[in-house]
Amino acid sequence: MALARTFGKITPLMADLNFTQEIAAPAKIVGAFFVPHRMGAWYGREMDLQFEVQGGAIEFRNGLKVRLTGRLGQRSVSHTAVVTEFERGRVLEWQFQDAYGVRGMQRWEIEATAAGCQVRMRDCYEMPGRIPKFLDWLLTRHAVARRDRAELDRLRRLVEHA
């Protein structure tokens, strides 16, 4: 697993969030929303995330660098992600690090089902230092979980109404 290679052993202080979303549409259609120019429609909307893709690529590929910038309240946020696994219509995984030292991995897997498809999302990250790790355990990971669920639900609504 890419996460184990990069981050080592997952510890109790590391956030490891997993979610599943059923979508009443074929995996091929859902996969069409996992391209740089469409992801902003459902991923990071509350932060108005902008995607800057290395070389202006129109599709993800392994090793591609993606810079995500947006706003969280009054604070400007950005991080750089590197695509570590991409298979069109099936999987997108990237690893990221931001200016504050938060690093992690996000992975989406799309699997066909009898009723359409299922999207599984894994969001794993680590905060630097003891106090940030405690605050993450206490507060941040709950907010991240709400955001992740909202993004998957937004994806479902977009795909099912497309």
For 21-79, the pLDDT digits (tens) are: 999 999 999 999 999 989 989 998 888 888 899 999 999 999 999 999 988 788 888 88
Nearest-angstrom CA–CA distance, 66 and 82: 6
Q: Among 36-45, 50-59, 106-115, 134-143, which range has the highest average pLDDT?
A: 106-115
Is 53 among the domain residues?
yes
- Give the CATH number, domain containing residue 149: 3.30.530.20
Please state, in angstroms and as integers, the Cα–Cα distance from residue 161 to each residue in 2, 8, 23, 26, 116, following that order: 34, 40, 11, 13, 14
| pLDDT tens digits for range 69-87 | 988 788 888 889 999 999 9
- 3-state SS class at 133: helix
pTM exceeds 0.95: no
* Distance linking the first and last C-alpha atoms of the chain: 34
Domain containing residue 124: 15-161
Question: Residue 31, Cβ neighbours under 10 Å: how many?
Answer: 20
Assigned domain for 4 exists? no
Total tally of structural domains belonging to the chain: 1
The CB-side HSE value for 72 (13 A sphere, CA atoms) comes to: 10
Residue 112 lies in a domain: yes
- Point out which residues pair with 104 in neighbouring strands: 96, 125
